[in-house]
Amino acid sequence: MTSGGDDARLRAAKVVAREEAQARRAQAPAEGTGPALAAHVLREAPPPAGAVVAGFWPMGHEIDVRPLLRALAGRGHALCLPRTPRRGLPLDFRAFAFGDPMDKGPFGTVQPRADAQPVVPGFVVVPLLAFDRAGRRLGYGGGYYDRTLAGLPGAATLGVAFACQEMQEVPAGPLDAPLDAVATEAGVMRFRVAFSGDDGA
* Span 66-96, pLDDT tens digits: 999 999 999 999 999 999 998 889 999 999 9
- Position 175 pLDDT exceeds 90: no
In a domain, 145, yes or no: yes
Q: Which of 42-51, 158-167, 189-198 has the lowest mean pLDDT?
A: 189-198
Backbone φ and ψ of 13, nearest 5°? -65, -35
In a domain, 131, yes or no: yes
Whole-structure pTM value: 0.91
* Span 103-125, pLDDT tens digits: 999 888 999 999 999 999 999 99
| Residue 71 burial (10 A CB sphere; 0-12, 13-18, 19+) | middle
Residue numbers of the domain that contains 91: 4-190
Return d(Cα 149, Cα 153) in angstroms, integer: 7
* Span 17-27, pLDDT tens digits: 999 999 999 99
Task: Report the number of distinct structural domains present in the chain.
Answer: 1
The residues, ordered by sequence, that sit 6+ positions from 195 with a Cβ below 8 Å of its Cβ are 45, 156, 158, 180, 181
The rounded Cα 99 to chain-centroid distance in angstroms is: 22
Question: Which CATH number fits the domain that encloses residue 110?
Answer: 3.40.50.10420
Q: Three-state SS for 198?
A: coil
In a domain, 196, yes or no: no
